[in-house]
Amino acid sequence: MKKKIALLILGILIIISVGFLIKYINYNENYVTSNAGFIKTDSLTYLSFKVDGKINYLPFTSGDKVQKHQLIAALDTLELNTTLNQTKFNILSLQNKIDSMQAGKEKLINDIKLNSKLNENQLKILNKNIEANRLNINSMKVELKKLKDDYKRYSFLYQRKKVSKNEYETVTTNYNSMKFKIESAQKSLDAISLSKNDLLIKQKLIENEKNDIQKLSKTIKSLINSKKAMTSQAKLIEEKIKDSFIYAPFNGIIAKKYVNKFEVIKKGENIVTLVNPKDIYASIFLEETKLKGLKIGNPATIHIDALDKDYKAQVETILPTSASTFAIVPRDLSSGEFTKLTQRFIVKLKILNPDEKLKVGMSCKVTIKK
Residue 75: per-residue pLDDT: 97
CATH no. for 79-242: 1.10.287
Residue 22: per-residue pLDDT: 58
pLDDT tens-digit readout, 239-254: 999 999 999 999 989 9
Q: Residues of CATH 2.40.30.170 domain(s) within the chain?
A: 30-76+251-328+339-369
- Among 221, 361, 204, residue whose Cα is nearest residue 282: 361
Answer whether residue 126 shows pLDDT above 90: no
pLDDT tens-digit readout, 53-65: 999 999 999 889 9
Band (pLDDT 50/70/90 cuts) for residue 15 is: low
Q: Taking the CA of residue 335 as centre, how many other CA atoms within 13 Å lie in the half-sphere pointing to its CB? A: 5
214-235 average pLDDT score: 94
Q: Residues of CATH 1.10.287 domain(s) within the chain?
A: 79-242
Neighbours of 207 (CB within 10 A): 11
pTM for the whole structure: 0.62
| Average pLDDT score over the chain | 86
Q: Which segments within 200-278 are labelled E, that is strand?
A: 245-247, 252-257, 264-265, 270-275
CATH no. for 30-76+251-328+339-369: 2.40.30.170
pLDDT tens-digit readout, 66-96: 999 999 999 999 999 999 999 999 999 999 9
- Among 349, 333, 351, residue whose Cα is nearest residue 341: 333
Residue 262: per-residue pLDDT: 93
